[in-house]
Amino acid sequence: MEIEKIKAAALKELAEAAGSKAIIEVRNKYLSKKGPFAALYHELGKLPIEEKGPFGKAVNDARNEVSLALEAKLKEAEANEERERLLGERIDVTLPGTSLYEGHTNPFYLILDEIVDIFVSMGYDVVEGEDVETVPYNFSLLNIPEEHPSRDPSDTFYLPGEGVLRTQTSAAQGHEMQRREGKGAIKLISPGKCYRRDEDDLTHSHQFGQVEGLVVDKGVSLAELKGTLEIFVKKMFGEKREIRFRSSYFPFTEPSVEVDVSCASCHGKGCSMCKGTGWIEILGAGEVHPNVLRMNGYDPSIYSGFAFGVGIDRVAILRYGIDDIRRIYTNDKRFLSAFKEEK
């Protein structure tokens, strides 16, 4: 019988159809308006009246059977395909991720923060100066004579016009004394970057950091300066580190000293870091020269003071045993990552 043949053919093709696409093709072929079941309905009209009912029912039953089987198989196939798609998209959370470079504080600023903390704990104020200074503040008001070699353009970066790249944080002295109009005590530090036309090598750099210290009051003595610097050096480098004071000369202090700390690398024996001397100079200091007080509005017969200038990079080299001062500003990530703070 025609109906049975069509049904059998449809079910056979359905059984062979793999995947939702093939199943839909079977559906289009057999169940659409142009398919064989639709054609059978057209034949209904030609049949004698008494055969119409049984024939129509037989076509319906066959078509329903095919349709039910087809929809069931299609549903299953679609579910399988969806599962496979999701499996294919699965993310392996155990795979290593792309690591991001995490920034952290440069050793220069780690040391600077420590220096600042030590002086703040001794009651010092912190004043930030400017990288661009003028010749009077950088030189003249510090009693540095016109013919002094440090003023030479081969030593100092002059800018077009009046400006000069600060060669020393001592430039803060004039600003701070003048700001107070010659009255009242001063106790401050002024940290910042300084610049000089230096040939860069292991221990010299055209850019470096200093922390200037200035104390002015009635009756300030050199003994206080010595005591202060000893406290600073011991806090910074540890009680065991040796310190020596050498008498020295600076135009803005009288008397002047330089302070050395025993070399961290060779512990005083002499190496390339300390140029064979066993000592590394970290600061200059002295009693504020009366001319500096006077030029900046303080009466030296009433006031006295002391000043010091600490090299930040030098301190960093000593504390961390850095073998080349240039590493501090060249930003090599391999070097810097050694200074990652513990979280």
Give the residues lining the site for ligand DAH (CB under 6 A): 168, 170, 212, 250, 253, 284-286, 307-309
Q: Which of 259, 310, 255, 332 is nearest to 114 (CA)?
A: 310
- Residue 70 gets the label, from left (phi > 0), alpha (psi -120 to 50) or beta, of alpha
Instruction: Compute the least distance from the CB of residue 267 to ligand DAH, in Å.
Output: 26
Q: Which of 150, 204, 200 is nearest to 313 (CA)?
A: 204
With contact defined as beta carbons under 8 Å apart, do 167 and 274 qualify? no
Instruction: Compute the least distance from the CB of residue 252 to ligand DAH, in Å.
Output: 6
Q: Which is nearer to ligand DAH, 62 or 280 (CB)?
A: 280
Instruction: Compute the least distance from the CB of residue 284 to ligand DAH, in Å.
Output: 3
Q: For residue 186, what are the β-bridge partners?
A: 216
Instruction: Compute the least distance from the CB of residue 97 to ligand DAH, in Å.
Output: 48
How distant, in Å, are the alpha carbons of 164, 177, 293, 297 from that of 136?
10, 14, 14, 14
**H/E element, 19:** none
SS3 97: coil
Residue whose structure tokens are 């001063």: 186
Q: Which is nearer to ligand DAH, 36 or 286 (CB)?
A: 286
Q: Which is nearer to ligand DAH, 55 or 139 (CB)?
A: 139
First-to-last alpha carbon distance for the chain, in angstroms, is 85
Instruction: Compute the least distance from the CB of residue 103 to ligand DAH, in Å.
Output: 30
Q: Which is nearer to ligand DAH, 137 or 308 (CB)?
A: 308
* Beta strands, E only, 181-314: 186-195, 207-217, 243-250, 253-262, 279-288, 304-311
Q: What would the two tokens of residue 249 be?
A: 């000369």
Instruction: Compute the least distance from the CB of residue 125 to ligand DAH, in Å.
Output: 16
CA dihedral defined by 289, 295, 299, 301, rounded to 10 degrees?
A: 40
Q: Which is nearer to ligand DAH, 170 or 265 (CB)?
A: 170
Q: Which is nearer to ligand DAH, 74 or 285 (CB)?
A: 285
Q: How far is CA 333 from the centre of its chain?
A: 10
Q: Which is nearer to ligand DAH, 216 or 307 (CB)?
A: 307
Backbone dihedral angles phi then psi of residue 324, each to the nearest 5 degrees: -150, 115
